[in-house]
Amino acid sequence: MHDSISRYLDPEAICLRVEATSNRDVIDLLAGRLAALGRVRPSFVGAVLAREASMPTGLPLGGALNVAVPHTDPEHVVKPSLALATLARPVGFGSMDDPDEEIPVGVVMMLALDNKDAQIDMLREVAELIQRPGALAALAAATSPDEIYAVLGA
């Protein structure tokens, strides 16, 4: 069902039950995974952090679990990829709806796409995934990359 997400998500870029104290911790971790895999340029993490500061990506979903989708411009990407983290405890991300509001986020999907149109399509696919009943909770509860892929393929 979510072929693009599954296709771009490398198992080595999946971090489960992460102990983080800030959104920066999570962004650094995921960007570091993508950099280690050769998927992003050294400028990527700084660009994601700068974008997150001016245009936050926390999506308030109205429940106990929210998601963030940090990303940046295509010139910082070597090869299209995604990274995903589930958090042991939520950390604050600025809300996409109201940048002055911080919301607790438990699942982070980092996009590293080399084309603006692909970014829009991927954001749409992520939105469809997280609106599917139970999908976000299943991602948050996953204990292995295989369980993440099972949720994506459902």
The tokens for 83 are 């990274």
Position 10 pLDDT exceeds 80: yes
- Averaged pLDDT for residues 46-75: 93
β-sheet with 58-59: strand ranges across: 9-18, 81-94, 102-112, 67-68, 58-59
Under 8 Å between Cβ of 3 and 153:
no
pLDDT tens sequence across 64-87: 789 999 999 999 999 999 999 999
Q: Give me the torsion for CA of 135, 138, 144, 148, rounded to 10°.
A: 0
pLDDT tens sequence across 120-140: 888 889 889 988 889 999 999
